[in-house]
């Protein structure tokens, strides 16, 4: 069985190989620019939305990573940033898993306090939403 070669390119090269339509866009300069601008604007909007959602309960960081993944299909800087962020998240996860149950519980408790503080700040600044039932 022949040995499989490891790709020495970037995600951009892999995407170019998998997505045949990119070759079509590359032949037409205005389509190529339009496509890159669309990916850039959409990816940036997804990243911004993710950053807005980080303090709230839910998938804020997941949305940030999804936006970076979209941006990394067209921009090398986004691929480098995505790889850096993945390494940092992996390092954090490894560090937390090696901590005692008390420290992990403390980290979770601080996260809950932060979320409760954000909800309280929202209530103070904007007010309680009308759809919240009155107790």
Q: What are the DSSP calls for 62-106, one per residue?
A: HHHHHHHHHHHTT-HHHHHHHHHHHHHHHHHHHHHHTS-HHHHHH
* Sequence spans of domains, the chain: 11-95, 99-135
The pTM is what? Answer: 0.63
pLDDT band at 133 (very low <50, low <70, confident <90, very high): confident
Q: State pLDDT tens for residues 79-116.
A: 999 999 999 989 999 999 999 999 999 999 998 898 88
pLDDT at 23 over 80: no
Contact between 55 and 115 under an 8 Å Cβ cutoff? The reply is yes
């Amino acid at each position: 069985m022949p040995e499989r070669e490891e790709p020495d390119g970037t995600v951009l090269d892999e995407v170019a190989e998998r997505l045949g339509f990119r070759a079509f866009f590359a032949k037409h300069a205005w389509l190529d620019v339009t496509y890159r601008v669309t990916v850039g604007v959409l990816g940036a909007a997804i990243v911004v939305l993710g950053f807005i959602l980080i303090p709230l309960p839910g998938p804020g960081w997941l949305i940030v990573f999804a936006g970076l993944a979209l941006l990394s299909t067209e921009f090398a800087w986004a691929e480098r940033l995505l790889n850096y962020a993945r390494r940092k998240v992996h390092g954090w996860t490894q560090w937390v898993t090696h901590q005692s149950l008390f420290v992990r519980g403390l980290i979770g408790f601080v996260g809950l306090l932060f979320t409760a503080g954000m909800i309280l700040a929202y209530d103070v600044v904007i007010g309680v939403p009308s759809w919240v039932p009155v107790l």
